[in-house]
Amino acid sequence: MEPALIGTRLASAVLSPLLRRLLVQEGGGAALTDRPVRLAGLLSFRGEKRTLTERDVRRLAGTLVRESLTRPGEPPFPGDEAEAVADALSRSLLALGDLEMDDVQAVRHGHRELARRLRTSPAARSAAEGLSADAALYLDSITEWACLHILQFFTQRSSFVARTLVEQSRTQAELIAKLDELILRVPRADARDAAFERRYLPYIARRHGQLTIYGIDLHEAPDEWPLDMAYLCLEASARTGPSGDRPTVPHARPEPPDDGVRWLRRASVTDGPEAEPVPADQTLAAHDRVLLRGVAGSGKTTLVQWLAVSATRTAGEDPDGRMAYLHDRVPFVLPLRTLTRHGERLPAPGGFLSAVGCPLTPPEGWADRVLTAGRGLILVDGLDEVPEAERSRTRRWLRDLLGAYGDGNRWLVTSRPAAVRDDWLAPDGFTDLTLSPMSRRAVTAFVQRWHRAAGADAGTYEQPLQDALRGKRDLAALATNPLMCGLICALHRDRRGFLPHGRRALYEAALTMLLTRRDRERDLGAPSGVDLAEAPQIQLVQRLAYWMTLNGRTQMDRSRAESLVTGAIPAVPEAAAAGDPQAVFGHLLHRSGLLRESSPGAVDFVHRTFQDFLAAKAIVDDWHIGVLTRHAADDQWEDVIRMSVAHARPRERAEIFTELLASADAAPDRATQLRILVVAAAAMEQATEIAPTVRETLLSRTAEAIPPRTVEEARALSAAGPLVLDLLPGPEHTADDDVARMTVVTASLVGSDAAVPFLARYAEHPSVRVRSQLVWAWDRYGHDEYARDVIAAVDPSGLYFTVRNAEQARSIAALAGGRAVHFQGNLPGELITATVRACAPPAVRISQNPQLTDLTWLADAPASPEDVEIDRCPALTDLSAVGPLTTLLLDDSQLAVVERAPTTEGVHVELRRAVPNLRRIPALFPGLPSLSVVHLWQDEPVDLSPLTAADGLHRVLLVGDPALFMGADDLAARVSLTVRPPE
């Protein structure tokens, strides 16, 4: 029975006078002069102020029980238990005098807790034994009801309120003092984090803000150069297009619909928006997670450095705002070669800094807080440098991190192209991009920057080298990435304008420069106390290269490296005579220019390509040909095999090729067989002499993989170099469009000028995708030659001819009209105007141009294009110059200026990628007939209902799973709706 039910039988008018007699009546004040008064001192039946006896309390309890039984209604318990219940109640009330608490504490506990303590006293428990269930329930309820009234009496005492306020004040003062002491003793986490980041970010900027440019450390030049001066931004492109790294961008015009609206479509692989090449340092601006592939020396690690340093800068240090998306992010640079050196578990965030040798100690839990807040920039460098057997473990580590910290953070993983399959990280939301080979324009810029960094005395060598790169095809074929460009620049200057021919000769000259000529030409003598010629140094260093390659490492413990070198010294007489073995190792580490101590206790080569070159030399010297064939399908051994062929003598080369073919025959599947054949074919390029029979056998076997079936096979075949051109079929033998496209993809990726005549044969192919690949390949070759031999011959129907620089614009302007032009990138308005005037294109597309503000060039054009497309031009604010167009195609970023769109009859506006702004469209086009088409490419659900309010809308094109488009049936009742599944 609840106390409230007791209250219905015993009104407060009955209970209160009875229970009040239990308490002593006190005077005013807070009762602070003595110690707090316990409940025993407040009772009228205890202490010196006693007015009731124990007998009186029992009489009072009996009165309460009788009142409950005589009230109308069913009695709460059998009448014969009245005396026992009264006895138990009196014992409970008498237990008040035994409680060690005062009135303030009693009120704080509450009436239920007070009743529980009374009922559990020994006397009360003993008296309640033997009661019936109803009697026990009544006893519990009447005790709680009595305690409720008693506490009410306590709160009415004049001293209670005053003492409560005093105790609260004391408690608050004590709490504040304890908190102040705690704050002084343990500073707030965010304050500690901010203080640490003020130290950590400058450390990252110092550690990664310098870049080694090989060879310029001659003649008193410093060893390293500021990253700002040396960094060259390359392009990255998606691996999903037909070229494997650049999707097509055709301008196809199918037959117009019945309503006469002309469509602008893209005949790309997905028939959706193309993934155009973007600056490599902007990839994380568009994608939170990127797997970036690139060949050795392509600039992957330099990009990681650039991103890390950019994240440490403020807005004032980035005036053009290019890297603003990284501001306020905390970079974690994680080179896998370092993290996997000992084969230990890959670190959790708390161990990131210590694992890479950072001397700073962060506050406990700092990295976890950074990543939980989505502020991290995680740069995982060198997936290919993890042994193949350990890559699954690395992926699990990445997935664990993504599962815990995926939201908000940005992730970049770098790798060589063939290290992992294309979908290796796709399920985890990574966009797969590839660093494009350096274009002629990029090579020119690199050479200019290199000579500017090298100093005034290097300037006399710049122009002769530029001329050589344009005139010597074999030299230009080597200058495809920053590493090779740097070596060529260094050797050209070091050898007073004379360059070696071929890759092997280039590396040998670089070794000579680094191992012997550097200290000699700087008049340093023997600063390490060891004077060694080039040959013994190579003999010793190649032992390290061979061990690392054989064990799938690109870094090793310093102690192991020293042990390998000192153990090999007795077999190298000149090294043995040079002095103490430890001193010889120190000389190789600090003076050779090939090795470095990349982190405390760890040694690696200054670049992976030197390791591959020297490992190949060690294999050929010791003739460990079985090692080559066992690793023929291993991506980490591709360059080693090529360099082994370069080091070998003719009879040795023949044996290498024979063993490789036998390994291909024994391959477990076609993919492995193709990889081995391509490696063998690519290695032929390094053979200065090869038996005709061996060559013919290799070519015939390689032809088995031609034409390639997939983009991956095309990319692999192109690695064989110009010799693959002799095996590819011409257009007369490729009736199938897919076969023709894969053939052109392969040839366009070769990158040698020898491919230009072959590509020109496909200029009139009927397939738009084939011809669009020819247009995209323009950047890979000389502008003038390619424009004359290929671009001028390409059938322009259905294509956009992309212009990315002034040279290409000049070439397009010199050709006859009728070519739709795509101006891509930060091109000035004057250049666009001049080109449009010269070639009068039927359609113009402008994309990724941050400085385009208006379309005045349209008004100046002698013949305005019929179709104009504006894509990702955020500065555009004025469309007033738009003339009598057939179609104006805008992406959703231009919706802010749509209100100024022309209302000329016959002009149609098309919106692309407008999903985030669907609800704005009806307001921006209130009955405006110019909005005719909305294009949507979707891979997530979208509600189309806002489009039903756009009165002027004629047609909607949807590309994606039909189930993703909610409200499509209602929209189809109002407009012409086309839903096409992705291809």
Most trustworthy range by pLDDT among 17-26, 286-295, 358-367, 846-855: 358-367
Least reliable range by pLDDT among 287-296, 699-708, 933-942 = 933-942
Q: Which of 627, 636, 706 is nearest to 674 (CA)?
A: 706
Q: Per residue in 75-107, pLDDT tens?
A: 888 888 888 888 888 888 787 776 766 666 677
Most trustworthy range by pLDDT among 459-463, 565-569, 911-915, 945-949: 565-569
Looking at the predicted structure, is the pLDDT value of residue 21 above 80? no
- Tell which wins on pLDDT, 163 or 622: 622
Least reliable range by pLDDT among 199-208, 732-741, 774-783 = 774-783
Looking at the predicted structure, is the pLDDT value of residue 654 above 80? yes
Q: Which of 942, 930, 950 is nearest to 968 (CA)?
A: 942
E strand or H helix that includes residue 464? helix 459-471
Looking at the predicted structure, is the pLDDT value of residue 505 above 70? yes
Crossing angle (nearest 10°) for helices 650-665 and 670-684:
170
Task: Average the pLDDT over 64-81 and give the result.
Answer: 79
- Cα–Cα distance measured from residue 443 to residue 667, given in angstroms and rounded to the nearest whole number: 39
Contact 247, 802 (CB under 8 A): no
Task: Average the pLDDT over 515-542 and give the result.
Answer: 67
3-state secondary structure of 181: helix
- Cα–Cα distance measured from residue 708 to residue 61, given in angstroms and rounded to the nearest whole number: 102
**What's the pLDDT score for residue 891?**
59
String of DSSP letters for 491-522: HHHHTTT----SHHHHHHHHHHIIIIIHHHHT
Contact 374, 407 (CB under 8 A): yes
Please list, in sequence order, all residues whose beta carbon lies within 8 angstroms of the beta carbon of residue 768, skipping any fewer than 6 positions away. Answer: 248, 250, 252, 267, 797, 798, 799
**What's the pLDDT score for residue 939?**
59
Strands 556-557, 602-605: parallel, antiparallel or unpaired by DSSP? antiparallel
- Cα–Cα distance measured from residue 371 to residue 367, given in angstroms and rounded to the nearest whole number: 6
E strand or H helix that includes residue 310? helix 300-311
Least reliable range by pLDDT among 352-361, 403-412, 483-492, 753-762 = 483-492
**What's the pLDDT score for residue 182?**
61
3-state secondary structure of 867: strand
**What's the pLDDT score for residue 414?**
93
Q: Per residue in 420-438, pLDDT tens?
A: 777 788 888 898 888 877 7
Looking at the predicted structure, is the pLDDT value of residue 668 above 60? yes
Task: Average the pLDDT over 207-221 and give the result.
Answer: 59
- Cα–Cα distance measured from residue 235 to residue 238, given in angstroms and rounded to the nearest whole number: 10
- Cα–Cα distance measured from residue 413 to residue 335, given in angstroms and rounded to the nearest whole number: 10
**How does residue 525 score in pLDDT terms, banded at 50, 70 and 90?**
very low
Looking at the predicted structure, is the pLDDT value of residue 395 above 80? yes
- Tell which wins on pLDDT, 253 or 366: 366
**How does residue 307 score in pLDDT terms, banded at 50, 70 and 90?**
very high
Q: Per residue in 869-895, pLDDT tens?
A: 777 777 777 766 665 555 666 655 555
**What's the pLDDT score for residue 201?**
93
**How does residue 44 score in pLDDT terms, banded at 50, 70 and 90?**
low
**What's the pLDDT score for residue 504?**
83
Distance between start and end Cα atoms, the chain: 74
Looking at the predicted structure, is the pLDDT value of residue 269 above 50? no
Looking at the predicted structure, is the pLDDT value of residue 556 above 80? yes
**How does residue 935 score in pLDDT terms, banded at 50, 70 and 90?**
low
φ/ψ of residue 2, rounded to 5:
-70, 155
Please list, in sequence order, all residues whose beta carbon lies within 8 angstroms of the beta carbon of residue 151, skipping any fewer than 6 positions away. Answer: 106, 107, 110, 111, 114
- Cα–Cα distance measured from residue 396 to residue 392, given in angstroms and rounded to the nearest whole number: 6
Percent of the chain with pLDDT over 90: 9
Q: Is the pTM of this model over 0.85?
A: no
**What's the pLDDT score for residue 767?**
87
Q: What is the DSSP letter of 36?
A: P
Q: What is the DSSP letter of 893?
A: G
Average pLDDT over the chain, rounded to an integer: 75
- Cα–Cα distance measured from residue 801 to residue 796, given in angstroms and rounded to the nearest whole number: 8
Query: Is residue 74 classed exposed, middle or buried when 0-12, 13-18 and 19+ CB atoms within 10 A define those classes?
Result: exposed
Task: Average the pLDDT over 694-721 and give the result.
Answer: 77
**How does residue 669 score in pLDDT terms, banded at 50, 70 and 90?**
confident
Mapping DSSP onto H, E and C, the string for 132-144 reads CHHHHHHHHHHHH
Looking at the predicted structure, is the pLDDT value of residue 862 above 50? yes
Query: Is residue 862 classed exposed, middle or buried when 0-12, 13-18 and 19+ CB atoms within 10 A define those classes?
Result: exposed
- Cα–Cα distance measured from residue 46 to residue 35, given in angstroms and rounded to the nearest whole number: 18
Task: Average the pLDDT over 289-315 and give the result.
Answer: 85
- Tell which wins on pLDDT, 896 or 275: 896
**What's the pLDDT score for residue 248?**
32
**How does residue 50 score in pLDDT terms, banded at 50, 70 and 90?**
low
Q: How far, in Å, are 559, 697, 852, 859, 902 from residue 876 at the CA level?
A: 61, 60, 6, 16, 15
String of DSSP letters for 344-386: -PPPPGGGHHHHTT----PPTTHHHHHHHTT-EEEEEE-GGGS
Looking at the predicted structure, is the pLDDT value of residue 397 above 60? yes
Looking at the predicted structure, is the pLDDT value of residue 256 above 50? no
- Tell which wins on pLDDT, 225 or 599: 599
Task: Average the pLDDT over 174-181 and give the result.
Answer: 73
**What's the pLDDT score for residue 196?**
93
Which tokens is 637 given? Answer: 């051994």
Strands 955-959, 965-966: parallel, antiparallel or unpaired by DSSP? unpaired
φ/ψ of residue 574, rounded to 5:
-65, -35
3-state secondary structure of 785: helix
- Cα–Cα distance measured from residue 843 to residue 820, given in angstroms and rounded to the nearest whole number: 5
What one-letter code names the amino acid at 448? Q
On the CB side of 91, CA atoms within 13 Å amount to 19
- Cα–Cα distance measured from residue 453 to residue 230, given in angstroms and rounded to the nearest whole number: 7
Partners of 102 in the β-ladder: 38
- Cα–Cα distance measured from residue 363 to residue 358, given in angstroms and rounded to the nearest whole number: 14
**How does residue 31 score in pLDDT terms, banded at 50, 70 and 90?**
very low
**What's the pLDDT score for residue 213?**
54
**What's the pLDDT score for residue 190?**
73
- To the nearest 10°, the Cα dihedral for 161, 165, 166, 167? 100
Percent of the chain with pLDDT over 70: 73
Q: Per residue in 463-481, pLDDT tens?
A: 888 888 876 655 676 677 7
Mapping DSSP onto H, E and C, the string for 220-284 reads CCCCCEEHHHHCCCCEEEECCCCCCCCCCCECECCCCCCCCCCCCECCCCCCCCCCCCEEHHHHH
Contact 331, 308 (CB under 8 A): yes
**What's the pLDDT score for residue 26?**
57
**What's the pLDDT score for residue 583?**
82
